[in-house]
Each structure stands twice: as C-alpha cells, then as structure tokens.
Amino acid sequence: MRKNNKQVTTYFILLSLLLIAVVYAILQANLQINGTAKIKANTWDIHFNNIQVNENSVSIGTGDSPATIDPNNNCKVDFEVTLGVPGDFYEFTIDVVNAGTIDGMIGTINKTLIVNNEPVESIPDYLDYIVTYSDGIEILENHKIEAGTTETYLVRLEFKTDIEELPETSTISTSLEPQYIQADSSSIIRPISFENSSWNRIIDAYNSGDISSLQTAMESGTTREVQLDMDYDGIPETIAHVRIANLSKPSECSTEGFSQTACGFVIEFADIITTRRINPYSGDASRIGYGNKGGWEHSDMRAYLNSTKYLEGTTEEIDYTTIGFYNMLPNDLKTKVIDTTVISGYGPNDFTNITTEDKIYFFDPKEIFGTSYTNGNNYLKEYDTAKNQERQLDYYIIQYTINPSTRIAIKKSLDNTILKWWLRSPSYDFDYCFFYIQESGYVSRYQSANTLGVSPAFRIAE
C-alpha cells in the first residue's frame, strides 16, 4: 500500500515590462500578470473494513482464529480455521474502502501458497480457495476504486466433497495482496452484474452512464433473487425475483404532470408475491374505500404496499407501518427505493386523474402494452383516463418489438402458478373495477374486492 498525504502551494508570477522609444515621444506601459495556484490537501486512504462471516461457516475451534483486521495495519486480514470433513467451508466478505480523496486502482496482485511449509504453484485438488468481488467477478489489475466508494471482496475456503482420495492432515497458508496505487488513464471500472452486484454498485453504474450490462440484462429479462421477510420476524426467508423494467428517461418524462412510474431506473417483481384485494370493502361504490371511489390514492392496496396507514372506508385505521410490502424488502434494497410521482386514472365517481408520491406501486395498462391493449381489448383504452400521462416501459417495448404476439405480461406465483395480477388505475366504465392482467397475459378489469395477484414495482434512481 502506498500512502501519500501532501499539500503543495505554488506561486507563479510573471512580470512583463515593455519599453518602446519613439523619436518624438516615449510611451511606457507596465504590464503585469499575477497568478496564484493553490493545491488543496489530499488524502490517500484505502483500507479494509467490516468483515461479515457467513453464518454457515465452520465453527472456530481451539487454536483457530476468525478473520480479523490487523489492529496495527488496517490493510491486512488474518484468519486460521480447521476444515475437518469434506463440505466444511469458511467464508466471509470484507469491504475495501477508499476513504481518501484520490481515485485508486489495483497495480499488482501478489499471490503465495504454502502447503506444509513448502511453496506450491496451485491449490491442492481437495481445496477450493476463492477471492472475488462479492458479485463473483474476478479481481484484476487496473480495476479502479473511486474516492469515497466501497468495494466488497468475497473470500471462501472449502474442503471439497468431490474428491477421490482423502488427504492427510496438512497446513495450507494462502496470501493474496492486491496493491492499490493512484489511478491513471489505464484504470478501468470493473464490469457489473445485475444478478450479483450490490445495489450500490448497480446504482452507481447507472448514475455514471455505465449501463451497457444493465441494458443487456433488461433486454434478456435477467432476474436476480431478493429475499423477503414475509412474516416480519427480521429474517428474510422467502426468495422472490426482480428484473429491470426501465432504464431510459425520454423528454416526455420531464413534461409537467407526467407519471414517473416508467421513467428512470425501474425495477419490477417478476413473480406474484401474494394475493390481495385492492379495497377491503364491498357495497356502496360511491363511498371512498368501496369499489374504485378515490382511486389508487385512497386504496387499501396502496397503504399496504407502502407500509403506511389506511384510513378510508372504516372508523378504525388499518396500520401497515410495521408490516406491509415495503417492510418485506431486505435493508440493502429498501434503503435504495426512491419516491416516485405516480399518476393514476379515475372511475365514474371521481373527476380527475390522481397524483400520489409512492415508493411501491403497480403498473398501468399503457406502461405494459403501449398504444395497443391487444386481444380485442383496445376499447379499454377509452376507460383508461391516465394513458396520456404515461409511457410504455423499456422492457415491454423491447419484448413486444421482438415478438408482437408474446405474452410477456403473464406472471406466476412463488409456487409457480399462473395468476391474475392487479394494475393500479380504476376503469372509468364501472364504479367497482380496477384494471388487471389476465392469466392469458392480456389486460381486463375486475372488481376491487376480488383477490388477485400482487406484483409491484419501484424505482432506485431517476
């Protein structure tokens, strides 16, 4: 590691004096250019931080020691473990933090491997030793780490199970030393993976315009796992899948009164997570909380998705602040979800489109199908009052361009069953209906008190 704390002040003064003599007169001009350049103090500080050991790792035994950052050198990590039987492993992640003001990059990567006090060239065939970024991407020379950012390494030692002969007792010492130096023109931003990169890394790439791999992931419909805490016990136990629904922000998104639900970096659930009614009451559809009166803004579903309180349709509030869909999300994702301006349509008992600010929301017909609602249901556009303030999502534009007859809007539950799933706007022709997606993948409308699929979306960057 190279450390360099330096403050330099440079003074540059140029004095130019020009004397011109003429026969009948002397004209004199004193010209001066005075300049001062100040170089601010900079810091070089790249170090390790925040070791997180996989809870399923082998237990630390007598004579062993867990992965620990050296108290006298925060660029050094030591650990010693015993792998007793095939299948035992020790795994941890550790952050590489650039807390300085100067961009760094990996200059060289020094590796050593010693088995029973003898240097060797390769890992024994009974052992796996992996050091990568946490998303599985290989650590390479020239990889850049910008000032003020953090990368995460994954370290794993495993006693392999697919071995033909058990080894004798042995001691294996490994050392990996990426040397960081000041970044120059040869530095490269390492590639990202939508499936495995951290949400911070993905958002940073999007904000910097480095979206080629994200674009590829969207076009192919690549999904990534998200663990949901569906019973709110603090332990995410349910695996769901999300995909990129949008990356662009065309000029129409900047139009006043335009819904931002298909603008910027939009993530949607590829699964139907649960089933639920949009409004919990039936009866007088002229009352808020019944039918589609009050639309998306005053629906029980909106309160549930955003983990807020539902106050309509009953004298007792329904409090979702500690439950609801938003609170199912893992913390590393939940903290990245941004507020979105949502424009929704209205039913026959209301008079104008509805604007809300939401973290979690449903899509609308226009955002999936564009100008064509397909399957003979184009007449439904007449009853979608929000369509002129919305645009089609990039993902669906791509899919329907490739194959106009595709039924990409079909979604399955977590147990792999095709289900109907809700959209957010009421249908103007009936006072108790909201739009939804049929099992066939086409749009229709259904009574709000019916139980249909919940497959929401959210944005993580504008």
Query: pTM to 2 decimals?
Result: 0.74
> Are the C-beta atoms of 189 and 158 separated by less than 8 Å?
no
CB neighbours of residue 296 within 10 Å: 28
Strand partners, 68: 78
- Residue 18, pLDDT > 70, answer no
- SS3 label, residue 301: helix
Tell me the mean pLDDT in the region 425-445.
93
What are the pLDDT digits (tens) for 161-205?
988 887 888 888 888 899 999 999 999 888 888 998 889 889 988
Tell me the mean pLDDT in the region 289-316.
88
- Residue 25, pLDDT > 60, answer no
> Are the C-beta atoms of 90 and 149 separated by less than 8 Å?
no
Report the percentage of the chain scoring pLDDT > 70: 92
Distance, C-alpha 411 to centroid of its chain:
22
Using alpha carbons, select from 182, 458, 214 the residue that is nearest to residue 336.
Answer: 458
